[in-house]
A and B are shown apart, each in its own frame.
Chain A
């Protein structure tokens, strides 16, 4: 019988067996697996048996459901798969078959090749290439199109607001006049940390006058943010989420 193991970091939070009854995952207390976190939708996804196959369906959740790092809508699950929702992981195991550990050695670094003069991709090739890129972009977009606004929710500390929308390319956290996330503590630094939105619409947090930590991990250089991440800097704690 397949089993789901809910984990956060290295700690196992709970287990659920998938029998004839489906296992629902979400923030609402009436789900089989309840994850009380703003990055999780109220009814986020479900795992169920269909004709002997184990299936996962995402209910169009805002922050998505990922299987082995790939965002999915509906997929067949296999033992050893890892389901990602927010910062939580759900491992799929079979009672008999402990998941095989993936093993892999990256290729050794080859010698640097000889490179010719810089050229521009010629028009026809470029068009084909860009079409290919556009096509992958579309197929990767499985979630329903909804306007998502990256937001910082204040969990702890003194700030001018409870929530901050990240609408600019550069967001400064600090006491300075240019800061969007305004710190109001007496000894708050002028520029504690910065958040950047890159061309691919992903967000990165990086150090400024202070070195922030993300999920308890001190960061020395910019780190990509995922929904549910907690940024701690200069006595405040901010959670990164997407809002409708």
Chain B
């Protein structure tokens, strides 16, 4: 695990919904961070997102221990083995959610979005389905690293709608791709650089509907510890309305020298503690 990656996460039901259908999972030992937003009535949304997170974490952890674990779906030569593994994990999660939906709630809508990041040195693999997003802040500039699989985002890409119209549309909640809807799913996989000083945010649509890019960039630029930044983003989204569940995972890469210094400080603190107590 790259030990100079700091991470923190926060999730909240929001001010309107009764249950939290968002879910996240952290596997820092393999540099993997996953977020999922479930949908469906009763408890189905919660089940779908939980199942997605568990499946992705388990599959990638197993693959980390034993590279012989078979890949599900086709292999993309233009991305690394880590990226292909991540896509395979998400395809497996789709099969599980779809199977569960067919078994327990046939005819009911049950599904989930997913966005996952796995750090591998300076390269990071990003895979997603749906409208949960990944952003990166570099030198104060915020960049969205994923393209939503939503109706309005597709209309914008096709040039039939402007970004402005999309932001005002009442169809923002309509997805064109999600886990658990069909037997197979197209997973978007991409690779990015994660460099010293960069911050990465994974979040559910409950956050991005309430906050502007400038607000998000503002919080991430303050340089607080990831857990504090994640909590602050969720709090701001709640203040702005909190119409949906809100979840944020924040990652930060420290320069190696800072990371070494932090480890050294921890060691010194640990050695001093018994002395202070006595």
Seen from chain A, the residues whose Cβ lies within 8 Å of a Cβ on chain B are: 106-107, 109-121, 126, 129-130, 133, 136, 167-170, 172, 176, 178, 191, 194, 196-200, 206-209, 211, 220-222
Binding site secondary structure of chain A: loop
Cβ–Cβ contact B175 & A121, under 8 A: yes
How far is it, in angstroms, between the C-alpha of A114 and the C-alpha of B192 when the chains are bound? 34
Is residue B158 contacting chain A, with contact meaning CB distance below 8 A? yes
Cβ–Cβ contact B178 & A115, under 8 A: no
Cβ–Cβ contact A206 & B143, under 8 A: yes
Q: Report if A220-B154 is in contact (Cβ < 8 Å); known contacts: A119-B39, A172-B193, A191-B122.
A: no
Cβ–Cβ contact A115 & B190, under 8 A: no
Q: In the complex, what residues of A have CB within 8 A of residue B167's CB? A: 109, 112
**Contact flags (1/0) for B178-203 with A, using CB distance below 8 Å?**
10010000001111110100000000
Chain A proximity of B142: nearest CB distance (Å)? 8
Q: In the complex, what residues of B have CB within 8 A of residue A191's CB? A: 122, 193, 195
How far is it, in angstroms, between the C-alpha of A178 and the C-alpha of B181 when the chains are bound? 37
Cβ–Cβ contact B193 & A113, under 8 A: no
11 residue pairs from A and B, CB less than 8 Å apart = A110-B168, A117-B244, A118-B175, A120-B174, A191-B193, A191-B195, A196-B190, A199-B188, A208-B138, A220-B140, A221-B143
Contact of A113 among B79, B113, B164, B170 (CB under 8 A): B170
Seen from chain B, the residues whose Cβ lies within 8 Å of a Cβ on chain A are: 37, 39, 78-79, 83, 109, 111, 113, 121-123, 131, 138-143, 147, 151, 154, 157-158, 162, 164-165, 167-170, 172-176, 178, 181, 188-193, 195, 205, 209, 243-244
Q: In the complex, what residues of B have CB within 8 A of residue A167's CB? A: 78
Cβ–Cβ contact B139 & A115, under 8 A: no
Q: Report if A115-B193 is in contact (Cβ < 8 Å); known contacts: A110-B168, A121-B174, A207-B139.
A: no
Q: In the complex, what residues of A have CB within 8 A of residue B157's CB? A: 200
By Cβ-Cβ distance, the 5 closest A-B pairs, closest first, are: A170-B191, A221-B141, A110-B168, A118-B173, A113-B170
Contact of A120 among B83, B169, B175 (CB under 8 A): B175
Cβ–Cβ contact B39 & A118, under 8 A: yes
Cβ–Cβ contact A117 & B195, under 8 A: no
How far is it, in angstroms, between the C-alpha of A118 and the C-alpha of B178 when the chains are bound? 11
Chain B proximity of A133: nearest CB distance (Å)? 6
Q: In the complex, what residues of B have CB within 8 A of residue A178's CB? A: 121-123
Chain A proximity of B14: nearest CB distance (Å)? 12
Q: In the complex, what residues of B have CB within 8 A of residue A220's CB? A: 139-141
Q: Report if A208-B195 is in contact (Cβ < 8 Å); known contacts: A168-B78, A178-B121.
A: yes
Contact of A115 among B141, B154, B243 (CB under 8 A): B243
How far is it, in angstroms, between the C-alpha of A173 and the C-alpha of B147 when the chains are bound? 24
How far is it, in angstroms, between the C-alpha of A196 and the C-alpha of B176 when the chains are bound? 24
Tell me the nearest residue of chain A to B182, going by C-beta. Answer: A123
Chain A proximity of B22: nearest CB distance (Å)? 11
Cβ–Cβ contact A120 & B39, under 8 A: yes
Q: In the complex, what residues of A have CB within 8 A of residue B173's CB? A: 115-119
Tell me the nearest residue of chain B to A190, going by C-beta. Answer: B122
How far is it, in angstroms, between the C-alpha of A208 and the C-alpha of B111 when the chains are bound? 36
Tell me the nearest residue of chain A to B176, going by C-beta. Answer: A121
Q: Report if A121-B190 is in contact (Cβ < 8 Å); known contacts: A109-B168, A168-B79, A207-B139.
A: no
Chain B proximity of A12: nearest CB distance (Å)? 30
How far is it, in angstroms, between the C-alpha of A197 and the C-alpha of B83 when the chains are bound? 15
Q: In the complex, what residues of B have CB within 8 A of residue A194's CB? A: 192-193
